[in-house]
């Protein structure tokens, strides 16, 4: 995988940071996109010359496009992008939900993912590259009143459509769909659930697949 480059949103912590570490260990360069400049700087210091900090907001298309251009200039191209940034809601259900909270979540989980993909595709088209989207077990089953789950149903549906679009020019798209993951997404630690490294392993499984292997979805759940 020498000289291949991966762009990651939501890269400063959790699944994004774990994927960056796994990718660099596997020989990839990484572009780390997130709002937290301090956390990105710390991660780049850890990963070294294979990593580039790209501070920005995943709902800002211009920032995404500029970051991808900088990454391509730095490493000579972009071979994969991981639209990982996302969030939940502070209040569950439809009746008890907050409209403004929904709007912020949909802006990131849906529009942010679309903007990331649109910004990345011109680069990926040059390399016959790979788009990875963070889905969820919540996007594969119905959960009572879950608006968050509905945003992940969008990811799964769109991911399949995008895979069909990308295969027209030799690209690939994978949805990585974890169950509950022990990240800052939850207020309380979940040590018995999936860890960020488990999800990062699933991302790398898809990215490192052979040229004839089009991994459309990786679905992983905690045991028990």
In this prediction, residues 206-215 reach a mean pLDDT of: 96
Looking at the chain, which runs of residues are DSSP E strands?
5-9, 29-34, 51-55, 80-83, 130-134, 172-178, 217-220
What's the maximum distance between 2 C-alpha atoms anywhere in the chain?
51
CA atoms within 13 A on the CB side of 133: 34
Cα 117 to chain centroid distance, Å, stands at: 10
- pTM for the full predicted model: 0.95
> Comparing C-alpha atoms, which of 9, 8, 6 is closest to residue 27?
6
Query: What is the band of 188 on the pLDDT scale with cuts at 50, 70, 90?
Result: confident
- pLDDT tens track for 132-185: 999 999 999 999 999 999 999 999 999 999 999 999 999 999 999 999 998 766
What tokens does 51 get? 């990593």
Q: CB neighbours of 19 closer than 8 A, spacing ≥ 6? A: 6, 8, 11, 82, 84, 196, 199, 200, 203, 204
Active-site residue, selected from the candidate residues 28, 82, 148, 158: 148
Per-residue pLDDT at 151: 97
Catalytic residue check, 148: yes
- The pLDDT, as a whole number, for residue 1 is 45
For residue range 37-76, list pLDDT tens digits in order: 999 999 999 999 999 999 999 999 999 999 999 999 999 9
């Amino acid at each position: 995988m020498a000289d291949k480059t991966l762009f990651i949103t939501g890269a400063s912590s959790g699944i994004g940071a774990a994927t960056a570490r796994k990718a660099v260990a596997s020989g990839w360069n990484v572009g780390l996109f997130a709002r937290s400049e301090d956390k990105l700087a710390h991660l780049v210091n850890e990963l070294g010359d294979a990593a580039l900090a790209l501070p920005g907001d995943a709902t800002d298309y211009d920032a995404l496009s500029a970051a991808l251009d900088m990454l391509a200039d730095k490493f000579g191209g972009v071979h994969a992008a991981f639209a990982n940034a996302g969030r939940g809601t502070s209040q569950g259900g439809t009746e008890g939900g907050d409209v403004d909270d929904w709007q912020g979540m949909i802006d990131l989980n849906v529009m942010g993912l679309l903007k990331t993909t649109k910004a990345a595709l011109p680069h990926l088209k040059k390399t016959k590259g790979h788009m990875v989207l963070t889905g969820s077990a919540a996007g594969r089953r119905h959960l009572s009143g879950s608006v968050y789950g509905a945003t992940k149903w969008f990811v799964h549906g769109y991911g399949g459509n995008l895979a069909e679009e990308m295969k027209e020019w030799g690209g690939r798209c994978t949805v990585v769909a974890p169950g509950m993951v022990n990240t800052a997404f939850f207020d309380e630690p979940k040590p018995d659930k999936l860890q960020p490294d488990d999800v990062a392993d699933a991302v790398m499984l898809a990215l490192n697949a052979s040229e004839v292997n089009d991994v459309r979805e990786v679905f992983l759940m905690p045991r028990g």
